[in-house]
Amino acid sequence: MTVAIDLRHRLGDFSLDVRFESEGGLTALFGPSGSGKTSLVNLVGGLMRPDEGRIAVEGRVLVDTGAKVFVPKHRRRLGYVFQDARLFPHLTVRQNLVYGRWFTPKAERYQSFDRVVDLLGIAPLLSRRPSLLSGGERQRVAIGRALIASPRLILMDEPLAALDDARKAEILPYIRRLRDEAGIPILYVSHSVAEVEQLATTVVVLAAGRVVAKGDPATTLRRLDLYPMTDEVEAGSVLDTRVESHDKRFGLTLLFSPAGTLHVPRLSAAIGSPVRLRLRARDVMIATRPPEGLSALNVLSGAILAIEDSGPASADVRLDCHGAEISARITRLSVATLGLAIGMPVQAVLKTVSFDRHSEALASAAPAPDDG
């Protein structure tokens, strides 16, 4: 499932010079507006012809300027999902879904209609017209239309950008199911830290048309030097956990992680489901001894890895909590008052209410049991 990209292209005063490989899963193209993300996806999709370079998907060469190869967009077998769903308004959902199949030879159609409908939870929508769908439902149908054409690669250009928070929360579990169950590599354009942390298996960070970082989300997105290059400056860390239990009485879910157990507002997820949790650095406090008489439920033991100034009055403190790395943003005065130093054992304290739905990324949409 390798996607190999090596491109040079000039658009007016802007030049794109990008080289990377991705081994399947969901590769997030991450960076600020104007960094070249959409231009790169359009080059891969065949909407633009590069000045120089090569693109290959699963070993099939789509572009090789040196060998004068340029496969037309309609023969690339790629699915494209845009910011707006771009459904045909005069067709039903069922008719929109099957439209893309006409461009795929029957012998190469590996996706069944019923499987795609089940994967995206759109069976109740099949007889409706797009005008009767919510924004999240329209995007699910757009993803289904791309998937049912049996593509070799799916391109998603900020598919959640036009949705409000409620619709984003609705569609995120389906994109994760697509990533985990469909077996098709995805290039996903975003400038949202939260989306990338939740969805990506690989992150490619772009700035001014160049790749400035590449790697797994937990490692790449904790690099504090990258945040000035993005539209968001919300430093933090990523923690992979799993659901251990539910507390119906108090509306909480207990998550297990290498760093320790965490209480979060109750999740709609089955016991054992994986959860990728985003911990904002500003929501983490540091104590030099186990706290007592404190309302915060989440206290993790660790040791200080690094202390770096992050502003005139603030510092970012990186902690090693049993192999998991967590960042805390505190004042420089607190660093001095507490006498913090590298290697020092400390406690990371997190309020349960600091975890909102934008912090959580369920890899399974299975419902939680009612009996907690």
pLDDT score for 7: 96
Please check whether residue 369 lies inside any domain of the structure: no
Classify residue 372: in a domain, yes or no. Answer: no
Residues 20 and 143 in one domain: yes
Q: Are residues 258 and 294 in the same domain?
A: yes
Residue 178 pLDDT: 87
42 and 80 part of one domain: yes
Residue 281 has phi, psi (to 5 degrees) of: -60, -35
- pTM here is 0.72
What is the pLDDT at residue 67?
Answer: 95
pLDDT tens digit at each of 372 positions of the chain: 789 999 999 999 999 999 999 988 999 998 888 889 999 999 999 999 999 999 999 889 999 999 999 999 888 889 899 888 889 999 999 999 988 777 777 777 777 888 889 888 899 999 999 999 988 899 999 999 988 888 889 999 998 888 887 788 778 888 888 888 888 899 999 888 778 888 899 999 998 999 998 998 877 876 655 655 554 545 778 788 899 999 999 999 999 998 999 999 888 778 988 888 878 888 899 999 988 888 888 999 999 999 988 888 999 999 999 988 898 999 999 999 999 999 999 999 987 756 654 444 433 333 444 444
Task: State whether 12 and 125 are in the same domain.
Answer: yes
The continuous run of DSSP H or E covering 96 comes out as helix 93-99
**153 CB neighbour count, 10 Å cutoff:** 25
Phi, psi (degrees; rounded to nearest 5) at 116? -65, -45
- Going by the DSSP 8-state scheme, the letter that residue 164 receives in this structure is -
Residues 109 and 257 placed together within one structural domain of the fold: no
In a domain, 367, yes or no: no
**Same domain? 200 vs 278:** no
Clarify whether residues 218 and 243 are in a common domain: no
Question: Within a domain: residue 368?
Answer: no
The verdict on 193 and 298 lying in the same domain is: no
Closest CA to 307 of 217, 224, 226: 224
Q: Do 250 and 180 share a domain, yes or no?
A: no
Q: Which of 36, 11, 173, 143 has the alpha carbon at shortest distance from 83?
A: 143
Domain of residue 308, CATH code: 2.40.50.100
Considering Cα of 47, then 53, then 75, then 20, what sign does the dihedral take?
Answer: negative
Comparing CA positions, the residue from 335, 329, 331, 321 lying closest to residue 354 is: 329
**Residue 157 lies inside a defined structural domain of this protein:** yes
Rounded to whole angstroms, the Cα distance separating 268 from 265 reads: 10
Residue 367 has a pLDDT of: 40
Q: What is the pLDDT of residue 360?
A: 44
Looking at 168, 203, 226, which one is the last position of a domain?
226
Nearest to 145 by CA among 167, 169, 164, 119: 119
Classify residue 71: in a domain, yes or no: yes
- The encoded tokens of residue 19 equal 């080289």
If one counts the domains in the chain, the total is 2
Would you mind telling me the total number of residues written for the chain in this entry? 372
Task: Specify whether 173 is located in the same domain as 28.
Answer: yes
Judgement on whether residues 25 and 100 belong to the same structural domain of the protein: yes
Considering 226, 246, 277, which residue would you say is the last residue of a domain? 226
Residue identified by tokens 């593509």 is 151
Q: What is the CATH number of the domain that holds 67?
A: 3.40.50.300
For residue 341, being part of any structural domain is answered with yes
Q: Which of 200, 226, 252 is the last residue of a domain?
A: 226
Classify strands 26-30 and 186-190 as parallel, antiparallel or unpaired.
Answer: parallel
pLDDT, residue 362, reads 38
188 Cβ partners below 8 Å, 6+ apart? 26, 27, 28, 29, 156, 159, 199, 200
Domain co-membership, 285 together with 334? yes
Q: Is residue 233 part of a domain?
A: no
Range of the domain at 36: 2-226
